[in-house]
Amino acid sequence: MRRRPIPAFAAAAMATVLAVAAPASAAPADKPQVLSSWTQTSAASYEAWAAARANQGGWSAYGFDWSTDYCTSSPDNPFGFPFRMACARHDFGYRNHRAAGLFPAAKPRLDDAFHADLKRVCAHYSGTRKASCDGAAWTYYQGAKVFGIS
């Protein structure tokens, strides 16, 4: 049986598809540094992560997992305190450090960053309301330290 040659336009189209379809593991080499920079305890780290989260498409080459269940089985806004985004960043840190094989070493820092995010939420309150928020933040932080696995 004689093979027919592939037309030039079909060969060019296949070459283009193969060139664009890079393997998922071909994330940029600085992925661990970017991941680390977005999961520090500072407000600047939180703001950089939040900006990236708002523009996830701009970071698609990195293959980050942006999924979240927010505060898992705890309320996202306990007693009206908006902890939802702190929980989302915590999930981001856990999921992406785990996928990169960096989780066990990073877990204490991720939990500390979570606590720092929660305390920044509480800084917007004063008096007994702030004390209540700080107590809820401490409880969430302790829960993450002890039970945080995902």
Q: Which residues are catalytic?
A: 90
**Token representation of residue 62:** 């990195």
CA distances from 82 to 18, 72, 75 (A): 45, 14, 10
Contact 84, 77 (CB under 8 A): yes
Query: Percentages helix, strand, coil for the chain, rounded to the nearest 5?
Result: 65, 0, 35
Sequence letter at residue 34: V
Q: What residues contact residue 93 under an 8 Å CB cut-off, 6+ apart?
A: 35, 38, 39, 106, 110, 113, 114
Nearest to 50 by CA among 34, 38, 63: 38
Sequence letter at residue 65: D
**The length of the chain, given as a count of residues:** 150
